[in-house]
Amino acid sequence: MPKSLRKQILKQGDLPTHVAIIMDGNGRWAKSRNLPRVSGHKEGINSVREIVRVCGEIGVSYLTLYTFSSENWSRPKKEISAIMKLLVGTIRKEINNLHKNNVRLSTIGNLEALPVESQNGMKEGMEKTKNNTGLNLILALSYGSRQELLMAVQRIADKVQLGQLNSEQISEEDISRALYTSNVPDPDLLIRTGGEHRISNFLLWQSAYTELFLTDIYWPDFREESILKAIIEYQARQRRFGMTGEQVSA
């Protein structure tokens, strides 16, 4: 099945350059099996491994994974520390394999808010893979889009105050450049697993014209076939960017 789906994707040709995913539903996946929430996070790592592999293999250039939001700090302390431990443990375990597969690891968000151990794990992983030229794997960690926009406004305001920039000259590019994602193209496809129909403070500026794919599948169950089907649906969409269908297909 995945083989024929891959063929279909190749035939269609227009792969999304940047796929972003809100990996939701770990807790409910665990609850539905009478397991503790952390088992859902653990199983979710298997989905991450598989989705990273498939995206790399089919030639997606950027994959951004919403791993921990600014608002997730409000969760019970026990769950937060379990997630942080899983994060370092996973990076340390997987980094050689990622490196071998030419994956370049990076992050967006307030990395400094993470426990030092997790920060160091991320930094080591990024350093090791910084010259790789395959899939760009971007983990959104302690990430919130409003906080990011606030930071951007502050940076730009500083420039205005220093006389380096005129307020009337501030452009959309200036704002894009002041975000964590300054070197990353806007996402083409945004997937949310777990059944909710909301953005939850993810890439608000960047996803102005992103195609949305919402699925009820819980993240630990979202695997190769699921992402291939999402990409096939994306390929069948007509992105109009405000224009008419006739203009776009001309």
> Which residue number, 24 or 224, has a Cβ lying nearer to ligand IPE?
24
Two tokens at 21? Answer: 């995913």
Asked if 29 is part of the footprint of Mg ion (rule: CB under 5 A), the reply reads no
Q: How far is the CB of 213 from ligand IPE (least distance, A)?
A: 15
Examine the residue annotation and report whether 183 is marked as an active-site residue of this protein: no
What are the DSSP calls for 230-244, one per residue? Answer: HHHHHHTS---TTS-
Annotation says 221 is catalytic: no
Closest CA to 181 of 199, 213, 207: 207
Query: Could you say which of 72, 110, 120, 132 is catalytic?
Result: 72
Catalytic member of 24, 26, 136, 188: 24
**80 alpha-carbon distance from chain centroid:** 19
Nearer to ligand IPE, 72 or 101 (CB): 72
Chain-centroid distance, C-alpha 133:
18
The DSSP call for residue 224 is H
Q: Does 24 bind Mg ion (CB under 5 A)?
A: yes
Q: For residues 5 and 24, what is the distance between their CA atoms, to the nearest angstrom?
A: 24
CB of 200 to Mg ion, least distance (A): 8
DSSP per-residue codes, 136-178: EEEEEEEE-HHHHHHHHHHHHHHHHHTTSS-GGG--HHHHHHT
Residues that bind ligand IPE (CB under 6 A): 22-28, 66-69, 72, 83, 194, 196, 198, 200
- Which residue's CB atom is positioned nearest to ligand IPE? 27
22 binds Mg ion (CB under 5 A): no
In sequence order, the 6+-apart residues with CB closer than 8 A to the CB of 93 are none
Is 44 a binding residue for Mg ion by CB under 5 A? The answer is: no
* Interaction partner, residue 109 (ligand IPE, Mg ion, none; CB < 5-8 Å by kind): none
The number of beta carbons lying within 10 Å of the beta carbon of residue 78 is 11
Nearer to ligand IPE, 66 or 234 (CB): 66
83 touches, from Mg ion, ligand IPE, none (C-beta below 5 to 8 Å by class):
ligand IPE
Please report how close the Cβ of residue 45 comes to Mg ion at its closest, in angstroms.
16
Select from 101, 20, 91, 6 the least CA-distant residue to 53.
101
Bridge partners, 212 (sequence order): 190
Least distance from C-beta 28 to ligand IPE, angstroms? 3
Q: Report the nearest approach of Mg ion to the CB of residue 31 (Å).
A: 11
Q: Is the Cβ of residue 134 or residue 144 nearer to ligand IPE in the bound state? A: 144
Query: In the complex, which residues of this chain contact Mg ion (CB under 5 A)?
Result: 24
Q: Which residues are the active-site residues?
A: 24, 72
